[in-house]
């Protein structure tokens, strides 16, 4: 008997020590670490850190994070009363949301008919980020809407005002008229770690206030969806990848850490079926925060550019294609190869040359285009960045002043925008063949119609013909500018689609 006790004693000691360690860990992680933030424009406390935790210590923290997050996550209902004839737009809508009406076959049929006014075309999620009713969501959640309804977790419903959107990051900002709302603080998403526990909170598949848990699977993911599907002109893709279950309807919802702080906005899933198969993607909080701050302060997003054309050396296929096209022998690897410069390029002004390989921005390693996109895309015109690059195998640095696409280094407001930028389209004169085919004496062709712009919202796509604006015939871009420059109020547009059908639609001049 004594011999048996001696053998069991070491195990008993280990058991006591393990129990003490577990209790200590739980007490440590349950310690109040609330941020002192009172506004979504104020960063979280500098001493708030992120850390992965073992499974024996996360239970209570998941409960705490869920209780903090659920009241601040809302349902967004998108109502559209116009006929959608653009299949690719509806496909993107279904990719993120799924089909709330049941089946893609029915969706094809619905494209040819008017959606009922009392039934949303799609539903997504949003996150309250201030007590006075500002809500962040995805651009694709609100795209094409003529009415946006926000439903809180307590079932209270509001009609929201769309403050602004940014297709390049898939972020939108809405506002409801209410005070004292629960909201989430933005965390510093640069501090997140692969393997860290996270929660995804949203309203997938019509199931309100759904919480799922997982880990961060990867950082800085570029999946090509914003350019290929969202039609973003200058997309910024540096997604947080997570294995927390995300399904259609989660778009625009919260990705939070175990403190309930916002580290990302859930945006997309990678799936062969359109439903959860293991990976979801979220816009990092630091980028999302910068976008909504710009929209709220300036009315538009302030975007800085290096002013280079480039090749992602980490992409073997891109490098091989470039070598074949240019008859070069560049080796794949890490970094961004400078292949050329835009007009009024800040990078060229700073001394960068074709053939240089960008390896760091402000001491942050640049291994691929997602890294570069995030490092530069989160800056504004006039900001300075320190660029480290390789030239002939030797490392060097230079300071680049970022510029906007017009070569300016100052911030702009909506009042500074051209008519084209305000309404989201350019226009070209009709040629004689088109005039003859359609029996027209005047008109312009719509070109470069921007996703989410005023022209797109009324159903006009590239190559539709604009006959009249505010009852006046138009024959050139100058005619459009003359009618709408410094104009405020409702705009009437008479246009012809590709089948010769004539419509009259309108929008309020931004």
- Take residue 291 and report the two structure tokens written for it: 């976008």
Q: What is the spatial distance between Cα 139 and Cα 136, in angstroms, rounded to a whole number?
A: 9
Q: Is 61 a residue of the active site?
A: no
Respond yes or no: is residue 31 known to be catalytic. Answer: no
Catalytic residue among 140, 368, 373, 375: 140
> Which one is catalytic: 121, 189, 238, 251?
251
End-to-end Cα, the chain, rounded Å: 88
What token pair was written down for 362?
A: 């402000």
Count the neighbouring beta carbons within 10 Å of the beta carbon of residue 52.
14
Query: Both tokens of residue 74?
Result: 């809302």
Task: Tell me the C-alpha distance between 77 and 125, whole Å.
Answer: 8
β-pairing, 465-469 vs 490-496, is antiparallel
Q: What is the DSSP letter of 305?
A: B
The CA-based angle 148-152-155, given to 5 degrees, is 105
Q: How far apart are CA 427 and CA 493, in angstroms?
A: 13
- The CA distance from 493 to 503, in Å, is 8
- Looking up tokens 């004594």 gives 2
Q: How many Cα atoms are found within 13 Å in the side-chain-facing hemisphere of 324?
A: 6
- Catalytic residue, candidates 166, 170, 312, 371: 170
| CB-side neighbour CA atoms (13 Å) of 44 | 25
Residue 251 among the catalytic residues: yes
Q: Where are the beta strands (DSSP E) in 315-412?
A: 336-341, 357-361, 364-365, 384-391, 394-401
- For the record, the structure tokens of 177 come out as 């008229």
List, as one string, the DSSP characters of 128-167.
Answer: E-STT-EEEE-HHHHTT-SEEEEE-TTS-EEEPEEEEEET
Burial 399-423 (b: 16+ CB within 10 A, else e): ebbbbbeeeebeebeeeeeebbbbb
Distance CA 365, CA 352 (A): 18
Tally of residues, the chain? 510
Element housing 298 (H / E): helix 285-298
Catalytic residues: 140, 170, 251
């Amino acid at each position: 008997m004594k011999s048996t006790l001696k053998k069991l004693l070491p195990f008993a000691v280990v058991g006591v020590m393990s129990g003490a360690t577990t209790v200590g860990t739980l007490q440590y992680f349950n310690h109040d670490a609330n941020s002192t933030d009172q506004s979504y424009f104020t960063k979280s406390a500098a001493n708030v850190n992120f850390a992965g935790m073992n499974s024996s210590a996360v239970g209570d923290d998941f409960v705490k994070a869920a209780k903090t997050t659920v009241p601040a996550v809302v349902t967004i209902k998108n109502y559209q009363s116009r006929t959608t004839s653009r299949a690719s737009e509806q496909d993107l809508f279904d990719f993120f949301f799924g089909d709330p009406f049941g089946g893609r076959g029915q969706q094809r049929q619905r494209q040819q008919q008017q959606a009922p006014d009392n039934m949303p075309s799609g539903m997504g999620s949003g996150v309250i980020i201030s007590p006075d009713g500002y809500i962040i969501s995805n651009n694709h959640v609100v795209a094409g809407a003529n009415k946006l309804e926000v439903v809180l977790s307590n079932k209270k419903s509001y009609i929201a005002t769309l403050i602004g959107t940014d297709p390049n990051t898939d972020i939108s900002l809405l506002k409801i008229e209410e005070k004292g709302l629960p909201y989430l603080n933005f965390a510093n998403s640069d501090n997140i770690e692969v393997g860290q526990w996270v929660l995804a909170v949203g309203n997938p598949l019509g199931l309100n206030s759904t919480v799922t848990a997982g880990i961060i699977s990867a950082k800085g993911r570029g999946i090509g969806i914003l350019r290929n599907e969202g039609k973003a002109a200058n997309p910024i893709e540096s997604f947080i990848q997570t294995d927390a279950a995300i399904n259609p309807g989660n778009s625009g919802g919260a990705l939070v850490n175990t403190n309930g702080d916002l580290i990302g906005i859930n945006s997309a899933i990678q799936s062969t079926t359109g439903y959860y198969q293991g990976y979801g993607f979220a816009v990092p909080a630091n980028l999302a925060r910068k976008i909504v701050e710009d929209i709220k302060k300036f009315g538009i997003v302030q975007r800085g550019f290096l002013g280079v054309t480039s090749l992602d050396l980490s992409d073997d296929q891109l490098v091989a294609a470039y070598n074949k096209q240019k008859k070069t022998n560049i080796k794949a690897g890490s970094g961004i190869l400078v292949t050329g410069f835009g007009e009024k390029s800040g990078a060229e002004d700073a001394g960068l040359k074709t053939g240089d390989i960008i390896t760091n921005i402000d001491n942050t390693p640049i291994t691929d285009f997602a890294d570069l996109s995030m490092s530069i895309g989160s800056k504004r015109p006039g900001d300075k960045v320190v660029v480290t690059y390789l030239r002939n195998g030797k490392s060097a640095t230079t300071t680049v002043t970022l510029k906007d696409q017009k070569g300016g280094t100052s911030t702009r407001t909506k009042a500074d925008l051209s008519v084209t930028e305000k309404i989201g389209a350019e226009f070209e004169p009709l040629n004689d063949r088109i005039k003859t085919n359609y029996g027209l004496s005047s008109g312009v062709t719509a070109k470069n119609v921007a996703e989410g712009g005023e022209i797109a919202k009324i159903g006009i796509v590239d190559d539709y013909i604009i006959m009249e604006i505010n009852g006046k015939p138009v024959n050139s871009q100058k005619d459009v500018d003359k009618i709408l420059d410094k104009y405020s109020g409702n705009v009437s547009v008479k246009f012809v689609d590709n089948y010769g059908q004539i419509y009259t639609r309108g929008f309020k001049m931004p």
